[in-house]
Amino acid sequence: MDQTLKDRFKLKRVNWKAVLSVVAAVAAYLILSRLPLQAYGDKTASALGFFAAFLILMFAQPWDMFLTAMLVPIGGFLLGFWDWRTFQISAGTSSFLQVMAFSIVGLGAETTPLGKRLAYWFLKRFGQKPILMVITVGVVSGLISSMISNTATLIMMSAIVHEMLVAMGETPGTSRIGRCLMLLISAVCFIGGAALYNGCVFVAALGLDLLRSASGGVLEGMTLSYREWAILGFPAFAVTIVPICLIYAFTKRVSTKGVKLLPKEHYEEKLRELGRMQYAEVRWIITVVCMIVLLVRGANTNTTSLIFAIISLMPLIGTVPIKGLFSKLPMHIFFVLYFTSILGELFTTTGLSNMLADLVYPYMSDLQPYVFSAVVFLIMVVIQNVLINGSVAGMSLVLTMSTPICLRLGYNPFVILFPAICAASYFFWIPLGANMLLNKGYGWWTVKDSLLPGGLTLLFLTIVVPAITLWMAPIAGLSIYMP
């Protein structure tokens, strides 16, 4: 046998992380599926074991979460939790197409220099004092991320601020203002992303799907409209963004000493390099404004998002080229939403939802709406930050356990748990996720630099966001209590 054939049939190095994760998942299923839970249903114990195995694989990430998501429908079918018709119905009513449509529209900001233009324009006017510069970078990053992908905003703003800091003569690793700005960007991009539905469309769609599926049919056909999300989410961003900027500025001891700020002429030169505003930028602004106006006025979210996705791809009037489109879209994330849409059946048809609710209910039964919302919010942010790669599993666990309890207490999950859905995006405290590492690669900060400002920010948000949500709910026409 020649060397080529030997190389072809040569065994690859064993991935022990994958092996141990699979062994742990199988062991969890075998142990938990034998628990005496027949009082809740014949398949409750088996469903608990299946869900625990899913959580282990999602948290451990022995491979891309797309593969784990693919295992969900086939595993549930083989174990008798659902048939293929049920999965097809669930997948067909998921938010898969909606998420993809919003993402296509958002790509228009990446294919035009509009984001850079806005950043330079604001820095030219408000970048002449260190604290004002911190606030400007934070507000601009948050606003842009509310409109488009928070990851895309993180990449763009990190590159702009890195270039600006180098021009200021700052040194990565030793610069206080550099450490502050780059950490702030990585936080506010995810906080601002939750301000509008299209800024955190994957998290929003998955969270709302989980609420409906975990309710046992009580919330079937109900959701939050784009307008309702905006009324709850944007005020929370508007109220908290400046205090968050100040938390980062003061904990990183940003001062005027030793900081050589760039003159307005620097930003004017950058704007001249971009040239006059392009027709494509104007088209994208018109497209997004028209889409948001229609959504706020109550237009169907699925229909509207698909229509404007088509407009974005059209020749002459569009801003997103079809060529190379799917290489820019995170298709594996979309399909995670598609395949995990059936998870709700695991809770509602097996008694698992009631079992989990009974387990936690004694500890939360006396909590008032605000306290309940804040507690679930805090649990969500801790799980999302500590279990860095388990965002989908963390959301599934927290929301499927808290939704039935919310209903038992007579609370409206779409209001009470709205902050927790937003919190699923707030994974900036322990910055080891893939998105955060994109920003860390510039060398301005280390992981420990994020702990104090990130922790204080999350505590601040835990107190404020649920309060603003409950305050704004009546304005959005939403009741805190179930009818």
Taking the C-alpha atoms of residue 222 and residue 230, their distance in angstroms, rounded to an integer, is 17
Q: Bigger pLDDT: 232 or 162?
A: 232
pLDDT in tens, 47-87: 889 988 888 887 777 777 788 888 888 998 998 888 888 88
Give bridge partners of residue 292 from the DSSP assignment: none
pLDDT in tens, 214-226: 777 788 778 888 8
Taking the C-alpha atoms of residue 136 and residue 471, their distance in angstroms, rounded to an integer, is 27
Q: In terms of Cα–Cα distance, which of 298, 246, 254, 196 is closest to 456? A: 246
Taking the C-alpha atoms of residue 383 and residue 189, their distance in angstroms, rounded to an integer, is 19
Confidence class for position 287, pLDDT limits 50, 70, 90: confident
Per-residue pLDDT at 220: 76
Is the model's pLDDT at 281 over the cut of 90?
Answer: no
Are 425 and 382 in contact by the 8 Å Cβ rule? The answer is no
Residue 364 has a CB neighbour count (10 Å cut-off) of 18
Is the model's pLDDT at 339 over the cut of 70?
Answer: yes
pLDDT in tens, 85-101: 888 877 766 667 777 78
Taking the C-alpha atoms of residue 258 and residue 243, their distance in angstroms, rounded to an integer, is 24
Is the model's pLDDT at 272 over the cut of 80?
Answer: yes
- Percent of the chain residues past pLDDT 70, beyond the cut: 91
Residue 334 is encoded by which pair of tokens? 């979309």
Confidence class for position 479, pLDDT limits 50, 70, 90: very high
Per-residue pLDDT at 457: 94
Confidence class for position 241, pLDDT limits 50, 70, 90: very high
Are 427 and 384 in contact by the 8 Å Cβ rule? The answer is yes
Of 114-123, 233-242, 319-328, 435-444, where does the model show the most confidence? Answer: 233-242
pLDDT (average), residues 388-416: 83
Is the model's pLDDT at 354 over the cut of 90?
Answer: no
